[in-house]
């Protein structure tokens, strides 16, 4: 029987777990800056941002990927393996990752803590709840939503136009039935009826704010700028106008502190914030990176989905806020992922993979490499040296790895085959060496667009230069919404385009590197607290649904309290 498209059950491999105090000490973080959170986890106090006056400056490495298939390309596994591999060659490394949402954990993906011999520990804590940051974000978000409706109920002194309210509610599970609702039904004391709905917590602007703030003061200021709708005179109404900001910040007082764990080989890892990579900016927190940049020789972080999505937002949004400049980018690919990009194979999550996918066919790999070429080009647009990382699978053939190396050579970028899923850090030594060499080239980092460009110019730049579109079409009210963002003073913001992660285009059926298509924009709104303008393309859902057989069906607990059936993410 061929492999199934599903997450892999956790292997009980012995981990070299170190005391979390010792892990922190390797980063120059003393015990007085830690708040232990059970065994193997600690929060890092924000005083760590300025606690090391003689801190060294780490090389800053981003891990991204080709456009993923439903198989997943294994960015998290590669990121963890690279961190372990760098330690194997004598470089102090620190891994910085997003916190996983329980939506995909219980839905289709499984835990976001790596896989095989490249996992984070304690695995169950990292995969489930961790220190409760997700719940704090949901509580702060929903408090604001409650205060919006309470304001309407008590007379609406701000004159909010209920039809303009964009602030929905959130929950950290996949639940399609909550996408669109009418709230306030019942007796008059039950509220003002209006149409609303739920998004998943990772799509909340509060999550985006948590990921992009630089201090507690900045967190509160950003929360206050969140726009929930418009008054009848078209003035934006904010969380500060509703006097909700202070209470929201209180709920996030602990969530703003990054979480310290480690890989199974003992490499320090900071897990903090979890914005989705397709419907949000898809990167871990700025605070984690500001702490980490002075704590190691190499800081390795990951951006969501392909380089056209998470990496573009890393460069254009996150780096604008942090002021940090990347030294190298790693583009993860797989043999089977490139074969899938030919369009020759029908791959469905939870179904048996077609046997032809595992037949030796380097020519098919070369055909599918059009997507790899484009994603490498996307990283190079920002002036960053690139390394292609082949996430090796047992079904691969040497000739197929050789084909990918040939593509990389033709593009004049380094390439390494990594077997860290099976072999741990030792399997990533070649990749680690290539990353060290690339980081020494000297990046000439640049943004894709200037702050002074119009919003329309910024959208066109991302659509045509990153996605490969021929142009942009604003549908329905989108053009008017874009102009409203300009009038409200948000024209200087960077942009975040929510689209499918399964294609460079807005159509998930188009594989490879499609051209000649037009990017549809159906909604535009300001994420004023986060500091970017959000645009929705296509049929993107901000609340995912569960698959026919969700991973949750296989998770249980035994009589001793041990979790059974917790799954790893894609390898």
Q: Dump pLDDT digits (tens) for 307-365.
A: 999 999 999 999 999 999 999 999 999 999 999 999 998 877 667 788 889 999 999 99
Task: Name the residue with higher pLDDT: 563 or 154.
Answer: 154
Model pLDDT, residue 13: 44
Give yes or no for residue 214 having a pLDDT over 70.
yes
d(CA 118, CA 76): 9
Model pLDDT, residue 361: 97
pLDDT grade for 28, boundaries at 50, 70 and 90: very high
What share of the chain in percent tops pLDDT 70? 94
Model pLDDT, residue 70: 76
Model pLDDT, residue 5: 35
d(CA 77, CA 26): 22
Mean pLDDT of 221-234: 96
Q: Dump pLDDT digits (tens) for 293-323.
A: 999 999 999 999 999 999 999 999 999 999 9
Helix (H) or strand (E) holding 465, with range, is none
Give yes or no for residue 385 having a pLDDT over 60.
yes
3-state secondary structure (DSSP) of residue 390:
strand
Indicate the class that CATH gives domain 133-251.
alpha beta
Lowest mean pLDDT among 1-5, 432-436, 541-545: 1-5
DSSP 8-state assignment for residue 269: E
Q: What are phi and psi of 166, to 5 degrees?
A: -105, -5
Q: Dump pLDDT digits (tens) for 151-204.
A: 999 999 999 999 999 999 999 999 999 999 999 999 999 999 999 999 999 999
Q: How many CA atoms lie within 13 A of 326 on its CB side?
A: 32
Give yes or no for residue 10 having a pLDDT over 50.
no
Tokens of 536: 């929705």
d(CA 346, CA 310): 25
CATH 3.40.50.300 residue ranges in the chain? 14-131+255-439
Q: Do 63 and 300 touch, CB atoms closer than 8 A? A: yes
Tokens of 3: 């492999």
- Is the CATH number of domain 14-131+255-439 3.40.50.300? yes
Tokens of 89: 């060659």
Chain CA centroid to CA 71, Å: 17
Q: Dump pLDDT digits (tens) for 424-435.
A: 999 999 999 999
d(CA 291, CA 208): 18
Mean pLDDT of 514-527: 96
Mean pLDDT of 144-150: 98
Give yes or no for residue 12 having a pLDDT over 50.
no
Lowest mean pLDDT among 48-62, 392-406, 487-501, 513-527: 48-62
Model pLDDT, residue 53: 53
Average pLDDT score over the chain: 93
Q: Shortest CA distance to 216 belongs to which of 252, 270, 260?
A: 252
Q: Do 331 and 379 touch, CB atoms closer than 8 A? A: yes
Model pLDDT, residue 107: 86
Q: Give one DSSP letter per residue of 157-199, joined into a string.
A: TT-B-GGG----EEESS--GGGSSEEES-SSGGG---EEE-EE
pLDDT grade for 535, boundaries at 50, 70 and 90: very high
Q: Dump pLDDT digits (tens) for 61-70.
A: 999 999 998 7
d(CA 351, CA 361): 22
Q: Dump pLDDT digits (tens) for 394-429.
A: 999 999 999 999 999 999 999 999 999 999 999 999
What share of the chain in percent tops pLDDT 90? 83
Give yes or no for residue 1 having a pLDDT over 60.
no
Give yes or no for residue 72 having a pLDDT over 50.
yes
Model pLDDT, residue 568: 55
Q: Dump pLDDT digits (tens) for 101-114.
A: 988 888 876 667 89
Lowest mean pLDDT among 113-122, 218-227, 395-404: 113-122
Other Cβ atoms closer than 10 A to 440: 11
Give yes or no for residue 485 having a pLDDT over 80.
yes
Mean pLDDT of 223-247: 97
What burial letters (b/e) apply to 485-508, b meaning 16+ CB within 10 Å? beeeebbebbbbbbbbbbbbbbbe
Right CATH number for 455-536 from 3.10.410.10, 3.90.550.10, 3.20.20.70, 1.20.1050.10? 3.10.410.10
Model pLDDT, residue 111: 67
CATH 3.10.410.10 residue ranges in the chain? 455-536
Give yes or no for residue 51 having a pLDDT over 80.
no
Q: Which residues contact 440 (CB under 8 A, 6 or more apart)?
A: none
Give yes or no for residue 120 having a pLDDT over 50.
yes
CATH 3.30.1510.10 residue ranges in the chain? 133-251
């Amino acid at each position: 029987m061929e492999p199934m498209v599903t997450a892999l059950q956790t292997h009980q491999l012995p981990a070299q777990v170190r005391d979390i105090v010792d892990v922190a000490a390797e980063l120059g973080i003393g015990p007085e800056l830690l708040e232990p959170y059970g065994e193997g986890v600690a929060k890092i106090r924000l005083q760590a941002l300025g606690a090391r006056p003689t801190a060294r400056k780490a090389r800053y490495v981003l891990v991204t990927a080709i456009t993923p298939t439903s198989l997943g390309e294994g960015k998290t596994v590669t990121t963890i393996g690279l961190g372990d591999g760098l330690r194997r060659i004598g470089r102090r490394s620190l891994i910085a990752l997003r916190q996983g949402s329980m939506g995909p954990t219980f839905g289709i993906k499984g835990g976001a803590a790596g896989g095989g011999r490249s996992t984070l520990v304690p695995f169950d804590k990292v995969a489930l709840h961790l220190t409760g940051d997700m719940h704090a974000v949901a509580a702060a978000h929903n408090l604001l939503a409650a205060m919006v409706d309470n304001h309407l109920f008590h007379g609406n002194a701000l004159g909010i136009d209920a039809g303009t309210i964009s602030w929905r509610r959130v929950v950290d599970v996949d639940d399609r039935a909550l996408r669109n609702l009418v709230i306030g039904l019942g007796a008059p004391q039950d509220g003002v009826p209006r149409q609303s709905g739920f998004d998943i917590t990772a799509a909340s602007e509060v999550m985006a704010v948590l990921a992009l703030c630089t201090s507690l003061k900045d967190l509160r200021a950003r929360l206050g700028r969140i726009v929930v709708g418009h008054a009848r005179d078209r003035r934006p109404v904010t969380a500060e106008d509703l006097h909700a900001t202070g209470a929201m910040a209180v709920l996030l007082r602990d969530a703003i502190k990054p979480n310290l764990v480690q890989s199974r080989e003992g490499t320090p890892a900071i897990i903090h914030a979890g914005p989705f990579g397709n419907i949000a900016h898809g990167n871990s927190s700025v605070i984690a990176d500001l702490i980490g940049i002075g704590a190691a020789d190499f800081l390795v972080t990951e951006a969501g989905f392909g380089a056209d999505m998470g990496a573009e937002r890393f460069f254009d949004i996150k780096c604008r806020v942090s002021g940090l400049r990347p030294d190298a980018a790693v583009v993860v690919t797989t043999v089977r992922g490139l074969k899938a990009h030919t369009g020759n194979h029908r791959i469905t999550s939870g179904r048996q993979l077609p046997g032809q996918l595992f037949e030796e066919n380097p020519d098919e790999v070369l055909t599918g490499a059009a997507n790899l070429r484009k994603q490498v080009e996307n990283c190079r647009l920002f002036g960053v040296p690139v390394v292609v990382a082949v996430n090796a699978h047992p079904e691969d053939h040497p000739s197929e790895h050789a084909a990918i190396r040939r593509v990389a050579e033709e593009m004049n970028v380094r390439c390494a085959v990594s077997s860290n899923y099976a072999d741990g850090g030792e399997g990533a030594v070649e990749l680690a060496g290539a990353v060290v060499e690339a980081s020494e080239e000297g990046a000439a980092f640049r943004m894709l667009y200037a702050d002074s460009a119009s919003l329309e110019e910024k959208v066109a730049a991302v659509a045509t230069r990153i996605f490969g579109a021929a142009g942009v079409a604003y549908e329905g009210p989108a053009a008017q919404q874009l102009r409203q963002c300009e009038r409200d003073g948000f024209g200087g913001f960077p942009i975040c385009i929510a689209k499918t992660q399964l294609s460079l285009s807005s159509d998930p059926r188009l594989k490879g590197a499609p051209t000649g298509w037009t990017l549809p924009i159906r909604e535009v709104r300001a994420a004023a607290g986060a500091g970017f303008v959000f645009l929705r393309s296509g049929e993107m859902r901000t609340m995912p649904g569960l698959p026919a057989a969700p991973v949750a069906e296989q998770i249980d607990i035994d009589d001793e309290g041990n979790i059974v059936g917790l799954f790893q993410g894609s390898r």
